[in-house]
């Protein structure tokens, strides 16, 4: 059954004909060609597909595109400034080498931005606990935690 869905993605209105079973991540990657959002496990465990729906982090592989009807969706492509200046959280991941192979990074960054928004004071323990929905197969968590801490601080003072 084809369904028409409309939403705002990275500030731009989009309307797409999808199947009712089309996942949000499929709409993002295959229809909109925004391939920064990754499919890792495809079973809602690894968090590589994390995007924001109205500012809240969700797993786009575990959600139907039709569930995002009317929503404001932000993907990893939508957080840097138009001139290419990285978001403070992206900059912190670069600065602290918060990645190894980089596959989990888009999801990590999107979760970290949601995390920084909700906590005034981010301790290492809080970051480790709150990132439990994002898995880094390279197990490079140490630098990721440092990056999130620095990125949260930079986001607040930005």
Partner 1 sequence: MYQFNYHKVTSVADAATLLAKNPDAKALAGGQTIIAAMKLRLASPPDLVDLSGIKELGGIKLDGGTLTIGAMTRHAEVAASKDVLQAIPALASLAASIGDRMVRNMGTIGGSIANNDPAADYPAGVVGLGATVNTNKRKIAGDSFFTGMYETALEPGELITSVVFPVPKRAAYAKFKNPASRYAMVGVFVSEGAGGVRVAVTGAAPSVFRVPAMEKALAAKFSPDAIAGITVPADGLNSDLHASNEYRAHLVTVMAKRAVEAVLGSK
Which member of 43, 81, 84, 125 binds partner 1 (CB under 8 A)? 43
Residue 60 CB, nearest approach to partner 1 (Å): 9
Q: Count of CB atoms within 10 A of residue 21's CB?
A: 11
Alpha helix positions (H), 1-140? 24-26, 88-95, 105-118, 124-130
Q: Count of CB atoms within 10 A of residue 15's CB?
A: 8
Residue 95 C-alpha from the chain's centroid: 19
Contact 104, 76 (CB under 8 A): no
Which member of 44, 72, 103, 141 binds partner 1 (CB under 8 A)? 44
Q: By CB under 8 A, is residue 122 in contact with partner 1?
A: no
Which member of 47, 88, 106, 151 binds partner 1 (CB under 8 A)? 47
Contact positions toward partner 1, by CB under 8 A?
1, 3, 19-21, 23, 42-45, 47, 50, 53, 56-59, 62-64, 66-67, 69, 111, 114-115, 130, 132-134
């Amino acid at each position: 059954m084809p369904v028409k869905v409309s939403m705002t993605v990275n500030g731009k209105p989009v309307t797409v004909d999808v199947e009712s079973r089309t996942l949000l991540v499929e709409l993002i990657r295959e229809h909109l060609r925004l391939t920064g959002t990754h499919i890792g496990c495809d079973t809602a465990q690894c968090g590589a597909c994390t995007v924001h729906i109205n500012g809240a982090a969700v797993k786009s592989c575990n959600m139907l595109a039709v569930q995002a009807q009317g929503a404001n969706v932000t993907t990893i492509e939508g957080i840097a400034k138009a001139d290419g200046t990285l978001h403070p959280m992206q900059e912190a991941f670069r600065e602290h080498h918060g990645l190894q192979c980089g596959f989990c990074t888009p999801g990590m960054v999107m979760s970290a931005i949601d995390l920084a928004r909700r906590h005034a004071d981010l301790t290492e323990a809080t970051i480790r606990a709150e990132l439990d929905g994002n898995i880094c197969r390279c197990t490079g968590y140490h630098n990721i935690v440092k990056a999130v801490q620095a990125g949260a601080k930079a986001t607040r003072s930005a």
